[in-house]
Structures are given as C-alpha cells and as structure tokens.
Amino acid sequence: MTMRIASLLVTLTASAAFLAAPSLAEPETKTQLVSLDGKRVETLQLRHDFNSAWVVDNRNILFRDDRRDYFLVTLKAECEPLEVRNRQFEFHPGWSWRLKSTSGYEVRPDAGRPCEVGQIAQIDDARATPMRDAALWRVW
C-alpha cells in the first residue's frame, strides 16, 4: 500500500511539473512582426537593402528599402540618444532577408545605450509619407 501511495505521489508531481513547464512547441516571441495587411506573422520577408531612415520620435524609426517599401520600427521604450539630431545608429543584428519574431533586435546609437525593438511593421505609403514629413520637420 505504501508503494502505491509513493507511486501516485511521483506521478502527480511529474504531471504538475509537466503542466507548469513552458510549451516546447511554441518558441518565445521577442519581436512582434506585422505584415502590410496588419496581421501578426512569424517571419517578415524583406527585399533588397535599406537606403533611408527617419527618426519619427525617440520611440519610432521609419525605414525605406530600395523597392520603396516602408517599415516602421517601434522600440519597447523611449530611446534618449535618438533625441539628438543626426545621431547615427545601427540596427542590430543587422537587416537580413528574413526577420523572425523569435529574434531580438536592437537599435544601437553611436553614443548611448542600445534600445530594444518591440515591433517591426510593414506600412503603406499613405501612412509612411506623413511620418517621413513630420520627421523632416521635427523640432530637435
């Protein structure tokens, strides 16, 4: 009888540990990716290289690629180094042909701490143009 109770306790403990463990089937999302139609996706295919970037505010950066597609990068928190006009920065780990939601991305200013990316969304020209124009006339 004692052996049966011990066996039952081991089974219950193992079951509880299994249910409390994170799912192995779903990897952790580190960066939210949004396609042009507004749907969340696991990967986002990029075409060519980026030729322009505009700091909309210290939390949003607008990028344009060679095909004139726009991508809005939204940081997880305000990035103070982006408040300085003409401050250079890099996107890390660098643009690749495919962005993955399971990868963590950062904006790294030449001076100051890195800033984590929360979301990358492909946006259309109608939404991007006012952002780009506002960034050009932004008071620094």
Q: Quick one: pLDDT at residue 112?
A: 83
Over the stretch 28-69, which tens digit does the pLDDT of each residue have?
A: 889 999 999 999 999 988 777 677 889 999 999 998 887 778
What is the per-residue pLDDT across 106-136, written as a single tens digit (0 to 9) for each? 999 888 889 999 999 999 999 999 999 988 8
- Domain-located, residue 13: no
> What whole-number distance in Å separates Cα of residue 41 and Cα of residue 28?
13
pLDDT band per the 50, 70, 90 thresholds, residue 89: confident
In a domain, 20, yes or no: no
**Total domains in the fold of the chain:** 1
Residue 22 reports pLDDT greater than 60 = no
From CA 76, how far away is CA 79, in angstroms rounded?
9
Of 135, 96, 103, 94, whose CA–CA distance to 33 is shortest? 103
**pLDDT at residue 82 above 90?**
no
Q: Is residue 54 one of the residues assigned to a domain? A: yes
Per-residue DSSP letter, 80: G
pLDDT number for residue 33? 95
Domain that holds residue 90: 29-136
Separation of alpha carbons 76 and 116, rounded Å: 6
CA distance 29 to 16: 25
| Residue 22 resides in a domain | no
**What's the pLDDT score for residue 11?**
58
3-state secondary structure the chain: CHHHHHHHHHHHHHHHHHHHCCCCCCCCCCCEEECCCCCEECEEECCCCEEEEEEEECCEEEEEECCCCEEEEEECCCCHHHHCCCCCEEEECCCCCEEECCCCCEEEECCCCCEEEEEEEEECHHHHHHHHHHHHCCCC
Question: Does 40 reside within a domain?
Answer: yes
12 part of a folded domain:
no
Note whether residue 1 is domain-resident: no
Query: Alpha-carbon dihedral of residues 86, 54, 107, 24, nearest 10 degrees?
Result: 180
Asked if residue 6 belongs to a domain, the reply is: no
10-14, 68-72, 84-88: which range is least confident on average? 10-14
